[in-house]
Amino acid sequence: MIVVAVVGPTATGKSDLALDLAQALGAVPAPGNFATPGRPDVPVGPTGTVNAEIVNADAYQLYHGMDVGTAKVPPAERRGIVHHQLDVLDPLQDASVARYQEAARADLDAIAGRGARAVVVGGSGLYVRALLDAMDFPGTDPEIRARLEARAEAEGRRALHAELAGLDPQAATSIGPHNTRRIVRALEVIEITGRPYTANLPRQEYVRPAVQIGLDCSREVLDARVAGRVDRMWEAGLVDEVRVLASPEQGGTGTGLGVTAARAVGYAEVLAWWRGESTEAEAREAVTANTRRLARKQMGWFGRDPRVHWLDAASPHLLDDALAIVAAADAGTLPIAGAEPVRRSLGS
C-alpha cells in the first residue's frame, strides 16, 4: 500500500490534514475499539483489519515533554488514530537521523504488515527523506579517521583531496580542496564501505511506494498563521513547559535540555531570555521571526523535490484534493519524478 506523506513548512496545517487523511482513508472507528493481537493500542475496524496510522517526521516532536512548542497534537485530539515516533527521546538525548530512519522504517514495515495505510507527516526535510528515500548512513571508524586526520596534518589537505579525486571525482568536485573535515569524512566512508562516497549520498528514489502532498500558502497568510500560533503557544504555557524541562536553576523539575532540543525554535529563545540576553517581549518576537525563517527554509527544501504535489493550505477543498492525489497514486495514474524540480516559494 502506498505511503502518504504530508510535508511542507510549519504552520500550514499538516497535522490536521494528516488526521483528516488517516480518518478518510482508513475509516478509523470510534476510540475504544482496540483489539489487534499484540498491539492493544492499535484501532481496528469491524472486520478486524487495521485502518490507518500516522508516523511523525518532525525532529522535535520526537522529544518527550516538548509538546506546546512543537505544536504536537495532544492525545485527546488524535481521533483514536495511532501515532508513531512521538515522545521517543528524552530531551537530553541528541536526535539522530540514522536512528530515526531505522525506527521509523520499522514502523512502516509493521504498519504494512497489518495491512494498514501509513500517513507520514512532518516538516523536517532530512527526516522525511531518510524515511522515504534511498539514503545510507555509513558508520564511523575512529582509527581510520585519526589516521586520515594525521595525514592531512602531515601531508596537507590538498594531498588528500587529490587522493579523493582519484577515488571519487564527483565527491572531490563537490567538496573542494579546502574543507578538510569533509575530505577526511569522504575518504573514511570510501575505506569503510569500499564504495565511492557519492554512492552513499541521498537519492530522490523511494525505497517503497510513496506519494508526497505538500501544503503551501501565500507569505501573508503564512505570516498570520505563524503569529497566531506563537500567541496560542504562549497562552498554552510554552514558558512553563520550557521551565519544567529546563535545569533546576530555572525552577524546573527536569534535568535540562540537550544540545539538539535546546536549539528548537521556541525553546532557544526562552532560554536566551532567561540568560539575560533579551526581555520576554523580545523573546516572543524572536520566536515569531525565527518560525517564519524556518518556514522559508522548509519551503526551500521541499520546493526542490519535483515529486511533491502541492496544494493550497487555505483551500476549502483541501481534503478532497488530497484524496484525489492519493487515489491517482494508488491507481498508478499520478505523474511523479522525472521533470526538472518545481522551485516553489511562499506566495507562489
Residue 142 pLDDT class (50, 70, 90 cuts): very high
Binding-site annotation, residues for substrate = 10-15
Structure confidence by residue, pLDDT tens digits, 265-295: 999 999 999 999 999 999 999 999 999 999 9
Yes or no: say if 184 and 175 are a contact pair by the CB < 8 Å rule: no
Binding-site annotation, residues for ATP = 8-15
Residue 90 has pLDDT above 90, yes or no: yes
Higher pLDDT, 30 or 160: 160
Residue 26 pLDDT class (50, 70, 90 cuts): confident
CA distances from residue 202 to 57, 137, 193, 233 in whole angstroms, order as listed? 17, 9, 15, 35
Helical packing angle, 125-132 and 97-113, nearest 10°: 50
Structure confidence by residue, pLDDT tens digits, 148-158: 999 999 999 99
pLDDT of residue 254: 57
Yes or no: say if 175 and 186 are a contact pair by the CB < 8 Å rule: yes
- The domain locations on the chain are 3-135+204-217+303-331, 142-200, 219-298
Rounded mean pLDDT, 93-105: 94
Of 278, 275, 253, nearest to 262 by C-alpha is 275
Domain made up of 142-200: CATH architecture: Orthogonal Bundle (1.10)
Higher pLDDT, 318 or 27: 318
Q: How far apart are CA 125 and CA 62, in angstroms?
A: 15
Pairing of strands 133-134, 203-206: antiparallel
Yes or no: say if 284 and 230 are a contact pair by the CB < 8 Å rule: yes
Binding-site annotation, residues = 8-15
Give the number of other CB atoms < 10 A from CB of residue 70: 23
Yes or no: say if 24 and 319 are a contact pair by the CB < 8 Å rule: yes
User: In the chain, what percentage of residues exceed pLDDT 70?
Assistant: 87
Helices (DSSP H) in the chain: which residue ranges? Answer: 14-26, 97-113, 125-132, 142-155, 157-167, 169-175, 180-193, 219-236, 238-245, 267-274, 280-303, 318-331
pTM above 0.85, yes or no: no
Yes or no: say if 291 and 2 are a contact pair by the CB < 8 Å rule: no
Structure confidence by residue, pLDDT tens digits, 203-233: 889 999 999 999 999 999 999 999 999 999 9
Higher pLDDT, 319 or 49: 319
Rounded mean pLDDT, 252-259: 72
Domain made up of 219-298: CATH architecture: Orthogonal Bundle (1.10)
Residue 297 pLDDT class (50, 70, 90 cuts): very high
Yes or no: say if 15 and 339 are a contact pair by the CB < 8 Å rule: no
Yes or no: say if 67 and 60 are a contact pair by the CB < 8 Å rule: no
pLDDT of residue 31: 41
- Among 8-17, 239-248, 313-322, the minimum mean pLDDT is found in 239-248
Residue 248 pLDDT class (50, 70, 90 cuts): low
Q: Give the CATH number of domain 3-135+204-217+303-331.
A: 3.40.50.300
Judge if 3-135+204-217+303-331 and 142-200 fold alike in CATH terms: no
Mean pLDDT of the chain: 88
Of 113, 137, 110, 136, nearest to 55 by C-alpha is 110
Contact partners, residue 51, CB within 8 Å, separation at least 6: 22, 25, 26, 27, 28, 29, 43, 44, 45, 116, 117
pLDDT of residue 48: 40
- Among 27-36, 68-77, 186-195, the minimum mean pLDDT is found in 27-36
